[in-house]
A and B are shown apart, each in its own frame.
Chain A
C-alpha cells in the first residue's frame, strides 16, 4: 500500500501547507501501515525534491520537466496521471488550497478514484473515515472512500503541525516527457492590499455579513477606537459587497492574524475565515445564530444582536475609564 504526498511550491519555495500535509501523511501511513513518499513537480536544477525530503524526512520523487517551473493545472494533472496510473496508490494527498482544489478533482476523475475535499482529520474504526465539515461548519460528515480505489484527498491547511526531522529522506528524480500545455501561465499579480498591516494590531474588531448593512460599520469603528493598537478586520462577504477594502480581509485569501484579542461581530465562522484567525490569543464571538461555527472557535460567546449589544459594551468601557 502506497501513499503519496504532493508538494506545492511557488517561486522556488516549498509551501508551508505541504509540510503540514507531510505530517498528516505520516500519521495516516502509520495507521494503515503504508509506504509514504512525497511527489514534487519541478523544473530540473532547483533542488526542490532534495529540499522537500530534507524538511520532512520523507523519501521524495521529483517529477521533472522544463515546463514545471510554475503551477499549471493541465501539466500537473497530466504528469500525475501518467505517474500514478499504473501504481494504484491507496491515497494521494493534496493541500486544500487554490492550487490543490484546481487539479485534485481532475486527478481523481482520471484515476477513477474517490475525491474527498476539505478533510480536517481522519478516524480509524473498522476502516478509515475522513471528517469534513459542511454548511459552514454546522455539520460534520464522515466519509469512507470506495474500497480498492485510489482516494484523492485535499487536506485543510492547519490540519496537522509540521514535525521537525533529523534525518532527511532520499530524493530521486524522474523525467516526465510532455509537450507544453494549451493553457498559458502569465505570471502573478499582487492585488492592491493598501497599507493596512493587520498583523501589527493587538486587538482586531472584525465585521461579518451579520452586521447587515454598510452603515452598521460605524458601530464596529466606534468599538475599535475603544482599544489601543486596534484595527478593523472583515470576513469575505463584507469585502465582496464592497463595504470594506481587501486590506481588511482576514482569512485564507486575506491576512493571517494572531492578535491578543479578536472580536468577531456577525461572523459565521466559515473555515476560510477561521483559518486566518484561529491562532488569536482570545477570541470573542458576538452572533445572533447560536449554531454559528464561530462559537466552536471562540473562547467567549455572546448570543446577542450586535446593534443592541455593542453600544452597551462601549458604554461599559467608558465607565471603566472614568
Chain B
C-alpha cells in the first residue's frame, strides 16, 4: 500500500498551508480611559486604535512561515465594528493575503465565548491548518479566545508560544511555551492546530509603502455576526469603574528640580541605600 500523503510529499505536490490569524483592534495603552454609559466597559469613543501587540507578533510569525514555505495563504480576521477594517488592512499590508471582518458593533462588551463561537462558526469549514491568535488582548487581557476557539473547533492548542517551528512536511509544529522565570515548555502538536503567540517571539516588521498602497483599496468581506452560530452568553460585567487614586502613593509635585530634591530626601528617610557620586562624563544631556 502506498501512503497517499507520502506520495504527494515525494512528488512535491504538498498542499497549500492555510493560516488564519485572529487580530483585535485595541486602544493605545497610554489612553485616558472613561467608563461607558452602560457602566460595563470603557468608552470607545475618542480613542486612538492600533493592532493588539500580541496579534502583531502573530501576524509576523505567520508571514515568516509564508516566507519559509512559499505555498502558504494567510487570512486575517477580526471581530468588531467597521472601524476595525483599519487594523485588518494593516495586517494585509504586512503580508496577509486576505482579510475578513465579522461585524459585531459591541464586540468589546461580549464575553470571550461569544466572540470565539463567532470565529469558530465562520472558520469550521475553511480547513485552516494553523490558527494564530495573540496570547491576550491588551485591553481586556482575558487570555481566553485562543483556547476557547481550539475547544470549539476540537484542535490541539499551545498558548504563550515564544518560539515555533513547522516541520518540513507541514504536518507538525513544535512550540516553546513561556512559563515563569525563563522556563520554557516544549510541545509538539499535530496540524491542524491553534497557537497563541507571546510578544518577544519576533520583532514585527513595518509594512512597506508599496504594500500599504497595494492593499488600500482591497475589499474586506463583512460577515454579520447574527448569521453565525452563537454559544450561550455565560457571564456578565456588572460594573466597570476607575480605580480610586491610590491612598498609599504620595505624589511629589512642582518643578523638576524641587521634586528631585524632595525625592532623594524621601528615599533617604525611608530606606537605607548607599548613594555615590556619578561620573561627570556625558552629563551635559539635560
In the assembly, what is the distance between CA of A46 and CA of B140, in Å?
Answer: 39
A248 CB to closest chain B CB (Å) equals 12
Q: How far is the CB of A300 from chain B (nearest CB, A)?
A: 6
Is the Cβ of B234 less than 8 Å from the Cβ of A321? no
Of B9-17, B206-214, B235-243, the one touching chain A: B235-243
Are A202 and B273 CB-contacts (below 8 A) given A117-B142, A143-B236? yes
Contact for B275 among A115, A188, A226, A312, CB less than 8 A? A226
Of the residues A118, A282, A304, A321, contact of B270 by C-beta under 8 Å: A282
Determine if B86 is an interface residue (Cβ-Cβ < 8 Å). Answer: no
Q: Select B199's contact among A110, A219, A240, A312, beta carbons within 8 Å.
A: A240
- Residues of chain B contacted by A236 (CB below 8 angstroms): 199-200
- Cβ of A102 and Cβ of B159 under 8 Å apart? yes
Per-residue contact bits, chain B 241-268, to A (CB 8 Å; 1 contact, 0 not): 1110110111111001101110110110
Check A190 against B188 for contact (C-beta < 8 Å). Answer: no
User: If A143-B235, A313-B264, A317-B277 touch, does A186 touch B174 (CB 8 Å cutoff)?
Assistant: yes
A191 to B184, Cβ gap below 8 A? yes
Interface centre among A110, A118, A151, A193 (most CB of B within 10 A): A118
B256 A143 Cβ-Cβ under 8 A: no
Are A183 and B240 neighbours in the complex by a CB distance under 8 Å?
Answer: no
> How close is A100's CB to chain B, nearest CB, in angstroms?
9
**CB closest chain-A residue, reference B244:** A296
Complex CA distance for A110 and B116, rounded to whole angstroms: 13
A183 touches B187 (CB 8 A): yes
Cross-chain contact B143 with A105 (CB below 8 angstroms):
yes
* Contact B27 A299, beta carbon cutoff 8 Å: no
Check if A77 is an interface residue, CB within 8 A of chain B. yes
Q: Is there an interface contact between A188 and B234, defined as CB atoms closer than 8 Å?
A: no
Tell me if A44 is interfacial: C-beta within 8 Å of chain B.
Answer: no
Q: Is B276 positioned at the interface, with any CB of A under 8 Å from its CB? A: yes
Q: Are A117 and B27 in contact (CB under 8 A)?
A: no
Q: Give the Cβ gap from B211 to chain A, nearest Cβ, in Å.
A: 22
A102-B159, A303-B253 known; A281-B271 Cβ under 8 A: yes
- Which residues 257-278 of A have a CB within 8 angstroms of B? 260-261, 268, 271
Among A114, A118, A141, A314, contact of B234 (Cβ-Cβ < 8 Å): A114
| A30 contacts the other chain (CB 8 A) | no
The segment out of B64-72, B123-131, B149-157, B218-226 that lies at the interface is: B149-157
Alpha-carbon distance between A114 and B186 when the two chains are bound, in angstroms: 29
Contact across chains for A106 and B278 when beta carbons are under 8 A apart: no
B4 contacts the other chain (Cβ, under 8 Å)? no
Which residues of chain B (183-198) have a CB below 8 Å from chain A? Answer: 183-190, 193
Contact A253 B29 (CB under 8 A): no
Give the Cβ gap from A280 to chain B, nearest Cβ, in Å: 9
Q: Cβ of A211 < 8 Å from any Cβ of B?
A: no
Chain A contacts with B in 263-322, Cβ cutoff 8 A = 268, 271, 281-282, 284-285, 289, 291, 293, 295-304, 308-309, 311-318, 320-322
With both beta carbons as reference points, the residue of chain A lying nearest to B143 in the complex is identified as A101
Q: Does A256 contact B (CB under 8 A)?
A: yes
Segment among B34-42, B74-82, B90-98, B99-107 that sits at the interface with chain A: B34-42
Contacting pair A191 B40 (CB below 8 A): no
| 25 interchain pairs, CB-CB under 8 A | A98-B185, A118-B142, A139-B35, A139-B242, A140-B241, A145-B235, A146-B236, A182-B156, A188-B179, A188-B184, A191-B178, A228-B276, A236-B199, A253-B182, A268-B30, A281-B271, A296-B246, A299-B270, A300-B249, A300-B251, A302-B259, A304-B259, A314-B278, A317-B264, A317-B276
A183-B189, A191-B178, A316-B261 are known; give 8 further A-B pairs, CB within 8 A.
Answer: A98-B159, A115-B111, A143-B235, A146-B234, A146-B236, A222-B282, A254-B181, A298-B248
Which residue numbers of B lie inside 8 Å of A, CB to CB?
27, 29-33, 35, 40-42, 53, 111-113, 116, 138-148, 150-152, 156-160, 174, 176-190, 193, 199-200, 203, 231-243, 245-246, 248-253, 256-257, 259-261, 263-264, 266-267, 270-279, 282-283, 285-286
Q: Which 9 A-B pairs have the closest CB atoms?
A: A228-B274, A311-B286, A186-B186, A114-B235, A312-B260, A321-B277, A105-B147, A101-B143, A240-B200
